[in-house]
Amino acid sequence: MTARMAVFICAATIIFFCICIAVNYFYISEFLRNAAGEDQGRMARFIASSVADKIDRKIELAEARFMGEVAGAMQAGSSYASIGDIQLDEKTGAWSLPVNIALMNNAGKALSGRNISIDIADISAPIKDFKIGSTGHAALVDDRAYLVYAPGVKPFGNKFCSYNELQKALGTDKGWVLMDGVYGHQGMAFASFYRIEGVFLSKNNVKWWLFIVQDADRISMPLNAAMPKILIIGVILAILALFAGIILGKIATGPIAKLRADADRLSAQNERAQARTKKFGDDLALALTRISGMISNIRHGLKAIVDMLPVPANEKQRDALNAENSNIDMMAKDLDELSDMVRIEAGKLELNMQTADIKDIIKSSLFVFEPKIRGKGLDLKIDILKGRVDVYADVNRIKQVLSSLLGNCVKATDKGSIEILLKEMPDDVEFSIRDTGLGVLPDKISGLGLYISKAIIEKHNGKFLSENVPGKGSRYSFRLPKHKPETTG
């Protein structure tokens, strides 16, 4: 009886221990996958952001160089970039992403174009240098499941996985997925992914994903390696099974902790880079403000010099002084627009909101431009309603918008008329101005004026529209709210 009892207790202990080990193995394995999936996902987001930033910066630099080359012939307009199919340079063996940059005037007409080439290997540098353990790596995959870039792999020469397997992975919401048939991996692979969300790729509807993938058994390898030892110790000392499981968990999660620390380090580097970019914008805005102050001092100094002249200035001197004053005014205006652009890009454009009569704002702006309109022999048509028409707005900023639009229309119109119309709606007021000129003249109008005007109106929660018909004229309109928006507590 004693022997039977001893055998029974031993067998029961071993069975109980095996059940505990099985349960612990399941939960610890699931924990390791979730932790690895979370950390790989953070790495994927960081690398995807780096790739998108590289592409966008290259396009922005190319556009800036292109705009600079034609600046002498055109001061306004826009450029756009479109993507082509990835091509192989047979001489160098390098794969490149062809991009066409076209310059357009404000009438929407393409004036010229420029092709640039972006080296796939160059924008994929963060992918090339990334490794996890002996099998972990990063790969760039398109929406057809082809490899766009992976170290040592021909772009679009191999599929990352089957199309159905890719769609199955993209449909998961766990943060990680087990995939079968992944290129370069035998058996099941453990993968996390993130979409490349740069401005340029999104605008051209290019869908690429950044995958971080490694052999699935590498995730639980520390656990698998320790299992035989645990079983032997369990048979001998079954009562220590629970403690052995706790120790195993600490041993197995060590690599995950290191991976998480690396991800935190890269995230901190990214935050520091963003802080440097913000500081550059703040410094630029401060420098522009100081330069603007210097220009104001130069203007006052020039006036003081004229006042100190012993005799009145002759006509030639007056013309020279007027020309210099005009140049200073133009420089000050350009600096003010650059300062506004910097504030807009940094999200720091401030408004001094109040309820004001839009008719008074319009009349004040027209007072400056009406002599110029009459001097060119243009017919000024005004229909701005009767009575007070209130809007909730920053008066000075709205005057800035009106001055920009009126200035554009006066410069673009040599004959015909300029028509101003004000409409009142239940919640909004719509202002519009129409001319009979040549449309927006790119060689006479500042390229920042319309951009800043649109940003100011949108900051007011309004809408800004512009229409240009070559040879027939331009029409600008914007809407402003009549009342202060209600806030909910």
Digit-coded pLDDT (tens) for 261-278 = 777 777 777 777 666 656
pLDDT in tens, 469-484: 777 888 999 999 988 8
| Cβ neighbours for 81, distance < 8 A, ≥ 6 positions apart | 59, 62, 63, 99, 100, 101, 102, 200, 203, 204
**Residue 451 pLDDT:** 83
Residues 214 and 362 both lie in one domain: no
Q: Classify residue 56: in a domain, yes or no.
A: yes
Alpha-carbon span 23 to 17, nearest angstrom: 10
Question: Which CATH number does the domain housing residue 450 bear?
Answer: 3.30.565.10
Q: pLDDT band at 72, cuts 50/70/90?
A: very low
Q: Classify residue 105: in a domain, yes or no.
A: yes
H helices of 358-438, where?
A: 358-375, 395-412
Q: What are phi and psi of 297, to 5 degrees?
A: -65, -40
Alpha-carbon span 10 to 8, nearest angstrom: 5
Alpha-carbon span 315 to 309, nearest angstrom: 14
Q: How many CB atoms lie within 10 A of CB 406?
A: 23
Q: Classify residue 320: in a domain, yes or no.
A: yes
Alpha-carbon span 215 to 226, nearest angstrom: 19
Closest among 484, 406, 489 to 449, alpha carbons compared: 406
Residues 61 and 140 both lie in one domain: yes
3-state secondary structure 204-259: CCCCEEEEEEEEHHHHCHHHHHHHHHHHHHHHHCHHHHHHHHHHHHHHHCHHHHHH
| Residue where a domain stops, chosen among 236, 252, 268 | 252
Residues 336 and 230 both lie in one domain: no
Q: What are phi and psi of 288, to 5 degrees?
A: -65, -40
Residues 287 and 207 both lie in one domain: no
Residues 204 and 91 both lie in one domain: yes
Q: What is the percent of the chain with per-residue pLDDT over 90, rounded to a whole number?
A: 17
Longest alpha-carbon distance in the chain: 134
| Cβ neighbours for 297, distance < 8 A, ≥ 6 positions apart | none
| Helix pair angle (221-236, 2-69), 10° resolution | 170
pTM of the complete model: 0.40
Residues 93 and 192 both lie in one domain: yes
Residues 329 and 398 both lie in one domain: no
Q: pLDDT band at 42, cuts 50/70/90?
A: confident
pLDDT at 450 over 90: no
Q: Classify residue 266: in a domain, yes or no.
A: no
The CA-based angle 64-70-75, given to 5 degrees, is 90
**Residue 130 pLDDT:** 86
| Residue where a domain stops, chosen among 206, 236, 252 | 252
- Average of per-residue pLDDT values in the chain: 75
Q: pLDDT band at 15, cuts 50/70/90?
A: low
Q: Can you read off the two tokens belonging to residue 431? A: 């202002």
pLDDT at 441 over 80: no
Residues 26 and 169 both lie in one domain: yes
Q: What is the DSSP string of 90-127?
A: TTTTEEEEEEEEEEE-TTS-EEEEEEEEEEHHHHTHHH
Q: Classify residue 239: in a domain, yes or no.
A: yes
For 244, the domain range is: 14-252
| Residue where a domain stops, chosen among 252, 271, 288 | 252
What is the four-CA torsion angle of 392, 396, 399, 401, rounded to 10 degrees?
A: -80
Residues 339 and 368 both lie in one domain: no
Q: Classify residue 96: in a domain, yes or no.
A: yes
Residues 284 and 177 both lie in one domain: no
**Residue 355 pLDDT:** 92
Q: Can you read off the two tokens belonging to residue 406? A: 């009126």
Q: Classify residue 28: in a domain, yes or no.
A: yes
Q: Is residue 23 a contact partner of residue 17, using CB atoms and an 8 Å limit?
A: no
Number of domains the chain contains = 3
Residues, the chain: 489
Q: pLDDT band at 489, cuts 50/70/90?
A: very low
3-state DSSP assignment of residue 387 = coil
pLDDT at 279 over 70: no
Q: Is residue 245 a contact partner of residue 24, using CB atoms and an 8 Å limit?
A: yes
Residues 206 and 307 both lie in one domain: no
Alpha-carbon span 126 to 138, nearest angstrom: 9
Q: Is residue 230 a contact partner of residue 246, using CB atoms and an 8 Å limit?
A: no
Residues 179 and 90 both lie in one domain: yes
Q: Can you read off the two tokens belonging to residue 447? A: 């390229």
pLDDT in tens, 379-432: 999 988 788 899 999 999 899 899 989 988 888 888 899 999 999 998 999 999
Q: How many CB atoms lie within 10 A of CB 18?
A: 15
